[in-house]
Structure 1
Amino acid sequence: NLGLRAVGYEGGASPDALPRYALLLNPDTVLPPDALANTVAFMDAHPDVGILGPRLVREDGSLDRACRRSFPTPAVSFYRFSGLGRLFPKSPRFGRYNLTYLDEHVQADVDSVVGAFMLMRGEALEQAGLLDETFFMYGEDIDLCYRIKKRGWRVVYYPQVTVLHIKGAASRKASARAIMAFYDAMKIFHDKHYRAQTFFLVNWAIDLAIGGMKRWALWRDRMRPSGRKRVASA
């Protein structure tokens, strides 16, 4: 199993032959008939957009909050994992991780969309490169958005298209492995983009927190009956 990174690119673009657009699409998504036509039309009309992601909903109709995110800076991550984001979801400061203070039906420029459906401009990929193989299952989408935004491209959340995401279907059978990959991706992203400019005591605290959360999540997963295993969620 090469992870979602390789699955997403199977039969798709290579660094040597990038198309005008490339689509990263998970197998656990259900698209409306006009999804591709509408998203491509938007990209054609907005040549400064490097990545576009639609509104994703869960099977119960609720928003898949991972479909629009801010980059997990140390501050943004603290707001989320301390519970402040849950306590104050409408706060532009504390609700930044999943942008819960924004109307889910309104288009917005964001830091990152999710790799379950990510329409990418070939020119932007030529500049930023493809998905980083260091990540496994989680984190590669937000890392790519980071690199593309750093090169001046826009990343847009586009709720005019809604896609059903049967979240976890691709990793439900390997819950413990998915949990480990989820927390490992946090550390990889921090090490790659933030560690060098972060005070060493803050880095130490972040490493300790990620390790502690991973051990706690794995312990809780082991304690659950096999039919109720959970999958990590961004």
Structure 2
Amino acid sequence: MQLSIVILNYNVRHFLEQCVLSVQKATQNFNAEIIVVDNNSQDDSCQMIKDRFPEVILIENKENTGFPKGNNIGAKIASGKYLCILNPDTVVAEDTFEKILAFAKKQDNLGIVGCKLIDGTGHFLPESKRGIPTPFVAFTKIFSLYKIFPSIKSFGKYYASHISENQTGKVEILVGAFMFMKKETYEEVGGFDEDCFMYSDDIDLSYMVLKTGKDNYYFHETTVIHYKGESTVKDGKYMKRFQEAMNFFYKKHFKTSFFFSFFMKIGIVFFSFVKMFQGKATLKSKPERYILLSDNDLIKEKLEEALKKKIQITTLENQKALFSQTFSKHKPTEVILDNNYLTFKDSIQFLETQKDKKRTFKNLPAASDFIIGSNSSNDRGEVITFKI
């Protein structure tokens, strides 16, 4: 077995379905297994996996064991040489794993590989590559010094600004939404630290791998959608757990003084409040026009019934003229990408190349009865079902 993909799910049934569909497409040319660990979801996530993906290995936990333990449970039964920790609110391209496998095999001292992540609007997520959040680096992040003084290199360490989003290179910290490594590396450091419930677990794992002398990499040659806001609702519990997570990381890895502890307490509270309010959904203007990128008129009719709106349909070959005419009028437009017609890679590339504040996007996963997407990396996302 070359690769095991572990997906930890909690109450995101539709995002999980889309994710598994994309992973299946991305692993059809080599020996791989998909392991879904469900943390006691109250929706029908588990039944959906059983009905639609009977070949997927499903572990049904009877309680929400948290991100570290949930992933460790999946990794323990993984039989692949390589392991990928993947969030359920992600979409991979058909060639994502083939590209990363080829890159990984060329590295002599491989630690963890992350990739280029974009949100549901097509915009790059800077946390795709990060530095170790030492006290100084945390200070520059908390008070946004990297934005105020972008030319000062020492202020850009939090988001590893020594390399661009379109450049592959060594970085220190990678995000838990997509972490690719040898299984033996994961086992060598003991996997995720289960004393940390969530939020600093990926920082800790990345740092533990670095301490073994291995190199972590940001790999830009494949792009993955991470809806991000779907993973957790940023409420009061989020703020409390974020504080606990950062305290956990600093106490575990850094010597602390009274001044350091006092500064971090203020900084964590400030940063947690910022994150909490970022997570609140904002009112957005409703799309005035819908465009379906597809070749199926029946799907168009079904979506018009569900949305109660007229939808223009176009193909990849004919899109240029229609999109130019539509967007030139500056009307809020939602583009629905039919994955019965488009590949996942096509959809991802479309988001990257067509991102604009007047456009929103939804995916229609193949052989599914819903469209899905997110208009912001801070929103939970939106699912609209329709009759097929």
TM range (shorter): 0.7 to 0.9
The answer to whether the 8 Å contact 1:68/1:114 transfers is yes
Alignment-derived partner of residue 265 in structure 2: 207
Q: What CA deviation, in whole Å up to 9, does each residue of 1:47-102 have, x standing for no partner?
A: 31111001001112211111100010000001111221121234320011012353
Give the SS at the match of 1:72: coil
Rate the CA distance shift 1:217–1:105 in 2: closer, same or farther, 3 A: closer
Rate the CA distance shift 1:119–1:106 in 2: closer, same or farther, 3 A: same
Q: What CA deviation, in whole Å up to 9, does each residue of 1:186-212 have, x standing for no partner?
A: 111111111x2x333222221233245
Alignment-derived partner of residue 13 in structure 1: 75
Give the SS at the match of 1:184: helix
Give the SS at the match of 1:94: helix
| Displacement of 1:127 | 2.1
Letter in 2 for 1:53: G
1:179 aligns with 2:239: yes
| Displacement of 1:126 | 2.9
Query: Tell me, which stretches of 5 or more residues in structure 1 are unaligned?
Result: none
What is the number of equivalent residue pairs in this alignment?
224
1: CA distance, partners of 2:263 / 2:201: 23
Give the share of equivalent positions with the same residue, in percent. Answer: 31
1:100 aligns with 2:161: yes
2: CA distance, partners of 1:116 / 1:50: 16
Alignment-derived partner of residue 189 in structure 1: 249
2: CA distance, partners of 1:25 / 1:34: 16
Letter in 1 for 2:157: R
Q: What CA deviation, in whole Å up to 9, does each residue of 1:166-225 have, x standing for no partner?
A: 1111213x633223222321111111111x2x333222221233245446765x589x67
- Greater fraction of residues in helix: 1
Alignment-derived partner of residue 140 in structure 2: 79
The answer to whether the 8 Å contact 2:72/2:192 transfers is no
- Greater fraction of residues in strand: 2
Q: TM-score, normalised by structure 2?
A: 0.53
Query: Tell me, which stretches of 5 or more residues in structure 2 are unaligned?
Result: 1-63, 285-377, 380-388
Give the SS at the match of 2:235: helix
2: CA distance, partners of 1:101 / 1:17: 35
Kindly report which structure 2 residues correspond to 1:56-205, keeping only aligned pairs within 5 A, or say none.
Answer: 56-172=117-233, 175-194=235-254, 196=255, 198-205=256-263
Identify which of structures 1 and 2 has the higher relative contact order when contacts are C-alpha pairs closer than 8 Å and 6+ apart: 1
Aligned CA RMSD, in angstroms, stands at 2.7
Rate the CA distance shift 1:27–1:6 in 2: closer, same or farther, 3 A: farther
1: CA distance, partners of 2:118 / 2:272: 26
1: CA distance, partners of 2:110 / 2:170: 9
Q: TM-score, normalised by structure 1?
A: 0.84
Q: Which moved more, 1:163-172 or 1:22-31?
A: 163-172
Q: Which moved more, 1:67-76 or 1:137-146?
A: 137-146
1: CA distance, partners of 2:275 / 2:222: 33
